[in-house]
Amino acid sequence: MVAEDDMRDQLARDMAGDTLILGVGATGASVARHLARQGREAVFADTRADADTRAVLEALPGSATHLGDLSGVDLEGVGCIVASPGVAPHEPFLKRAEAAGVPVVSDIDLFCDAARAPIVAVTGSNGKSTVVSLVAALCEHAGVAAAAGGNLGTPALDLIDGPVPAFYVLELSSFQLQRTSSLDAYCASVLNVTPDHLDWHGDFEAYAAAKYRIYARCEYAVVNADAPPPRGLIDDRATMLSVTAGQPGLRQFGLRGRGADTMFAFGDRDLMPVSECALAGRHNHVNALAALAIGSAMDLPMSAMLDGLRVFSGLPHRHQCVARRRDVDWIDDSKATNSASALASVGAVAGPLVLLAGGRGKGEDLAAFAQALPRHVTACVVYGENREGLADRLRDAGLSCTVTETLNEAVAIAATLAGPGDTVLLAPAAASQDQFADYRARGRAFAAAVEGLDA
């Protein structure tokens, strides 16, 4: 508690000066609303000259705003900068603030200072949105009030405006964690760490280090036993629970058996047949295990959690079947924005499939991705900004590959390549911002294009 109190005191000292909110998107707007509730003011800045300031100015009317070139923004009197997650650490304005000794904090620091309920925090390269949503659903089945948000759905600070729950359940990105010093979660979990956002963090080591910050001073730590965190990272006083995709050991959640006989298990106790879980795919079954481990740390009754697994069918744009046309399944996994998530999505399909991939690259090793694709990928259609480089790597790996420019064109080509019993899978292994606002817009465009095939 001493360390936590010291950090809160330091945050209060930093906030005594003027607060500058860097980024006027969803996170910046939530910070503005939070400060407005406290009767505080702020200055806004954004590197985008055309940034939409309506939401932040609605919360704090008349505030000064600086858009585009920030080189002339005066830092004199600024007590701290609350930086939105999307603002990279190498942004010149942040470098100038660092040189001037101005502290840079995250919205999560402000949230932790204001939260009056225990925090359950989840991160990972893949699966974190599913796990956070599933934990919230398990809480509902158990009759436990939980408020879920963060990087998923409702910004964390907007949760403070509602009733105080039994738990806050937060999805946290590596961007948020890199800048957060005061999380002190009741329960923390890193689901997995595979290369992602290397353009933002600089290298994999920095990215992984940001993820593992979630465990600092947590009370319960849920870890991936198949890829455990570095030794000494978790406080000895934390209670450990672990998850494995294989047969569980002592105090482990895992999968026992094979095929139709596979069971969710804890230690030597079988919990429920995997076949009864509403979530499909082995990767989602491991997500379900993580949710059970987190729920156990929250003291949720096991029977209620298992009932929740029987009805929670997942989130949009995450391995979601959007159509069946001429005996071909069309699956939207637009959220598969990196190689590891795309490979997991491909692995969840049993039969022959046509893969749609491409978009804005994230600095990953495309050759390694191509070599890892299983042989039941019968054809690839690549589109988007990184299409040529991705196509070269896929062909080097011996895969049939067609190149086109847009997702709509890719869907039309895939329809000519897929036969009865096949699956067409959108698992881009890339960001969406070359052609779409986000992965949701990409997923909606995919579904619309598939629907248009019958027009």
Q: What pTM does this model have?
A: 0.81
Residues with catalytic roles? 128, 151, 197
pLDDT tens string 104-153 = 999 999 999 999 999 999 999 888 999 999 999 999 999 999 999 998 88
Q: What are phi and psi of 133, to 5 degrees?
A: -65, -40
pLDDT of residue 251: 86
Which domains, ranges and CATH numbers included, belong to the chain?
A: 16-105 (3.40.50.720), 110-311 (3.40.1190.10), 320-454 (3.90.190.20)
Yes or no: say if 263 and 255 are a contact pair by the CB < 8 Å rule. yes
pLDDT of residue 315: 79
Identify the residue whose tokens are 């809160």.
8
Which stretches of the chain score pLDDT less than 50?
1-2
Q: Sign of torsion, CA 137 138 144 146? A: negative
Contacts of 62 (CB under 8 A, 6+ apart): none
- What pLDDT shows up at residue 2? 44
Residues 173-194 pLDDT 10s? 988 999 888 899 999 999 998 8
Question: Can you give the pLDDT at residue 1?
Answer: 45
CA atoms within 13 A on the CB side of 74: 4
Q: How many residues does the chain have?
A: 455
What's the CA gap between 53 and 60, in Å, rounded?
A: 11
Count CA within 13 A, CB hemisphere, residue 376. 15
Give CA–CA dist 184/371, Å, rounded: 40
List the one residue out of 411, 394, 418, 405 whose CA is nearest residue 445.
411
Residue-level pLDDT at 201: 63
DSSP, res 67: E
Q: What is the pLDDT of residue 17?
A: 62
Query: What pLDDT does residue 455 have?
Result: 55
Q: What is the C-alpha separation between 343 and 349, in angstroms, rounded?
A: 10
Separation of alpha carbons 218 and 177, rounded Å? 14
- Of all residues in the chain, what percent are helix, strand and coil, respectively (each to 5)? 40, 20, 40
Element (H, E) at 264: strand 263-266
SS3 at position 323: strand
Task: Could you list the beta-strand ranges (E) of 107-145.
Answer: 119-123
